[in-house]
Structure 1
Amino acid sequence: MGKMNITSLGNKIKNEDISFLNRDVAEKVKGFHSSFPQYSQTPLVELKNLSEHLGINNMFIKDESYRFDLNAFKVLGASFAVGNFIANKLDIDIAKLPYSVMTSDEVKAKLGDLTFVTATDGNHGRGLAWTANQLGQKSKVFMPKGTAIERVENIRKENSDVDVYDANYDECVRMANDYANTHGGIMVQDTSWDGYEDIPRWIMQGYMTMANEAYEQLNSSGQRPTHIFLQAGVGSLASAVTGFFANVYSDNIPTIVIVEPEKANCLYQTAKADDGKIHNVDGDLDTIMAGLACGEPVTIGWPILNSYASYFLSVDEIYASHGMRLLGNPKKDDKRVISGESGAVTSGVVSKLMTDSELADIKNEIGLDENSVVLVFSTEGDTDKKMYRDIVWDGRYPSY
């Protein structure tokens, strides 16, 4: 059995301001994203046969491998942050700056040459580089040691200046910020700190397009989730989706469960400490869940999770590998979902909770049973194809 630890903050006072993550804002964000010619709604896959096998009412997975042909959701946050930066620079509401206007010669002449800077494990950097390339601007990307070559090359294909450094993710964030400050670049990062909160907030808002689509798709099928499992790195995605669903389901908020790799479990450690302080995790953060290998929580997101998330799970690698195999080899006529390490971990967790008797206490504490309707997000496809094949084809990281 894989290692899994759980912590809860108990009875919460739900008083954190989440108005910036409400449905009206989400509709405005989706309006911006839908102005891009590459936009289309990603699938919400209903896994009826898997649900029956696991002993739950139903399970839905939002498949972000289709997002803008970039194989991951991260472009949603990067593009909306860049769009808002440009809108503020021009003193124009972003609602009046769709893709067709933002790429016009007139706007480009007003903006001049801009360089957007970031640190990334792969998907965020690719999304930022793609956005900059689409808008005729430049990007500079810092990547941590151990980054898969495929992820580096995908960023380079977007005409980005990208390099891998002998540093972990959080160290790359500081390097990127120093570069931006020294060279007049624009830092676009979902990690926040004192004096740097606007862009991380816009990134969180950008992620709402994914949540908003899922909400509409669930409504159209007459379903409402009882449980939402969300993977977390710094916690921007988790905070954004938590805030959105806390708004739209304010009368009965689903049980929200945050999942992190054991080797980079900064939110779990922060929740477990329960002292009101942010707790970072240091070291190499060496996990196959590269998109979640972050040791410092997003400061503007933690209060949302503190108020509205129900449980925090710290899990080892086998839950990611199990989830990848589970989704890639569906039961009966369930649709196949190609999900990478960071995308599949929540599905792996749900599956193991329902089938592993040694996890029964955690399952019962979370309240998973035959009446549960579960929503998860596959945030990436096979963004590292070699790793995907090593795990799904060849049995790397056995899921038992």
Structure 2
Amino acid sequence: MKDGFYMAAVPKAAVGADARAFLSVAAGERAAAYHRSFPAYTETPLCELDKLAGILGLTGLYVKDESCRFGLNAFKVLGGSYSIGRWLAKQLGISEAELTYDKLTLPQTKKQLGKLTFVTATDGNHGRGVAWTARELGSHAVVYMPKGSAKERLENIRAEGADATITDLSYDQAVRHALRKGEENGWIVVQDTAWEGYEEIPRLIMQGYLTMAMEAVTQLGEAVPTHVFLQAGVGSLAAAIAAFLTDFYGDQKPVITVVEPNGADCIYQTAKADDGQLHFVTGDLNTIMAGLACGEPSTIAWDVIRECCDYAVSCPDWVAAEGMRVLGNAAGADPKIISGESGAVTTGLVVAVMTRPDLKWLKDELKLDEHARILCFSTEGDTDRKNYRCIVWDGHYPAIKIV
């Protein structure tokens, strides 16, 4: 640890464990086929940042830009749409091969399903994806947001036709509130975290995220990454992508590092403890990375992370701000990427580690050198434009200077 940076090796799963089986390349192909059936589908770009890689002393740096995913400015809709689609298919008694947008929007399908309401808790991006999917498929959504959520994110969810409110609860409390409301009203809970007795939907959400990984490896082609950095809230995204890459690359699997904010680093705390227990972060979870402000790891995500990931890093908020500024102000001919706080933290960490002498210990531990080819995922755009401008235009959360 030094100046707010902490790292722990992720303890490996017991011999013979196979927690990642449901996140295979085959599962990614099925999820991608479903998403391609939507009229709004387009593949998001994988940006090759050659000039920045040269400045940092790397062989390559690639960033998957999710700001244009289904026009919703974030990747989360992949999980929400796929889990809802699979849940509907189960009610209809149709196979996954038959699961398409056209099938789900047929008049007779809607008549068979009746009026449905989906409920979730969210900091913004997941709820917007659930609301968009419910509207697209002729259903309704109710969304609860934790205290401190950006009003812009609230209005974006409402614009998709959902009933959405900002509560006075933390994220984890809002999740429990959504569960209670679902039970009371007969609504279908679509939550992107798992707990004992609630695992089917979270598994489907994680499978939905595989579309992003499927696109990325296809776009990379023969440029196999040596290192991948994945941000974590409850850990579902990190687990899904890590499992897919482990299956896809086999013996060439990259070093995979999970990245979290200091104020909500439940994956790091669990990895550091290495006692077989999940470790929660309580309190207000103060961080600018709203999408990562989760204090309780997903049970199924952690099982996958400990099988497929190598390190967990906890870092200060200025790292995300630095990443936002670097991506938004492209070097040379590199493409410009508008990345929000949660989206930019992985690139910000790479920049910090490769440029700061005080982080040489972290650079050495991760074995980052001139041979490294790095893959990051910018999971959201400027979903809170006011805060984005405060950081990128006005310089809020400046990097801590080296003493």
| TM-score, with length taken from structure 1 | 0.98
* Pick aligned residue for 1:54 from 47, 50, 56: 56
SS of 2:298's partner is coil
- 1:160 aligned residue: 162
* Offset at residue 149 of structure 1 (A): 0.5
Structure-2 separation of matches of 1:80 and 1:259: 25
Q: Verify the 8 A CA contact 1:14 1:308 in the aligned structure 2.
A: no
- Name the aligned partner's letter for residue 299 of structure 2: T
- Name the aligned partner's letter for residue 378 of structure 1: S
- 1:91 aligned residue: 93
* Offset at residue 94 of structure 1 (A): 2.6
Shift >6 Å, 4+ stretches: none
How far does the alpha carbon of each residue in 1:109-134 deviate from its partner, in whole angstroms, 9 at most, with x for none? 01000000000000000000000000
> Is 1:352 aligned to residue 352 of structure 2?
yes
- 1:362 aligned residue: 362
- What are the ranges of 5 or more consecutive residues in structure 1 without an aligned counterpart? none
Q: Where in structure 2 are the equivalents of 1:112-151 lying within 5 Å?
A: 112-151=114-153
* Offset at residue 82 of structure 1 (A): 0.1
Q: Percent identity?
A: 52
Structure-1 separation of matches of 2:141 and 2:228: 34
* Offset at residue 250 of structure 1 (A): 1.4
> Is 1:232 aligned to residue 232 of structure 2?
yes
- Name the aligned partner's letter for residue 244 of structure 2: F
How far does the alpha carbon of each residue in 1:311-348 deviate from its partner, in whole angstroms, 9 at most, with x for none? 10001101000000000001110000000000000000
Structure-2 separation of matches of 1:258 and 1:231: 6
- What are the ranges of 5 or more consecutive residues in structure 2 without an aligned counterpart? none
| TM-score, with length taken from structure 2 | 0.97
Q: Verify the 8 A CA contact 1:225 1:374 in the aligned structure 2.
A: yes
- Name the aligned partner's letter for residue 244 of structure 1: F
SS of 2:119's partner is strand
Structure-2 separation of matches of 1:313 and 1:333: 30
Paired residues in the alignment total: 398
Q: Quick one: structure 1 residues 14 and 288, their matched pair in 2 at CA, closer, same or farther if it must change by over 3 Å?
A: farther
Structure-2 separation of matches of 1:263 and 1:3: 10
Structure-1 separation of matches of 2:396 and 2:314: 21
Structure-1 separation of matches of 2:297 and 2:116: 28
- Name the aligned partner's letter for residue 322 of structure 1: E
Structure-2 separation of matches of 1:197 and 1:227: 29
Q: Where in structure 2 are the equivalents of 1:63-74 lying within 5 Å?
A: 63-74=65-76
- 1:317 aligned residue: 317
- 1:390 aligned residue: 390
Q: Quick one: structure 1 residues 97 and 6, their matched pair in 2 at CA, closer, same or farther if it must change by over 3 Å?
A: same
Q: Where in structure 2 are the equivalents of 1:257-336 lying within 5 Å?
A: 257-336=257-336
* Offset at residue 304 of structure 1 (A): 1.0
Structure-2 separation of matches of 1:202 and 1:180: 19
| Greater mean deviation of Cα atoms: 244-253 or 154-163 | 244-253
Q: Verify the 8 A CA contact 2:79 2:207 in the aligned structure 1.
A: yes
* Offset at residue 195 of structure 1 (A): 1.1
SS of 1:142's partner is strand
- Name the aligned partner's letter for residue 370 of structure 1: E
> Is 1:372 aligned to residue 372 of structure 2?
yes
Structure-1 separation of matches of 2:65 and 2:252: 25
- 1:5 aligned residue: 6
SS of 2:202's partner is helix
Structure-2 separation of matches of 1:273 and 1:91: 44
SS of 2:64's partner is strand
C-alpha RMSD of the superposition: 1.1
How far does the alpha carbon of each residue in 1:297-321 deviate from its partner, in whole angstroms, 9 at most, with x for none? 0101101111111110001101000
Q: Verify the 8 A CA contact 2:86 2:99 in the aligned structure 1.
A: no
SS of 1:300's partner is helix
Structure-2 separation of matches of 1:9 and 1:117: 33
How far does the alpha carbon of each residue in 1:152-173 deviate from its partner, in whole angstroms, 9 at most, with x for none? 0000001101001101100000
* Offset at residue 97 of structure 1 (A): 2.3
SS of 2:238's partner is helix
Q: Where in structure 2 are the equivalents of 1:191-210 lying within 5 Å?
A: 191-210=193-212
> Is 1:337 aligned to residue 332 of structure 2?
no
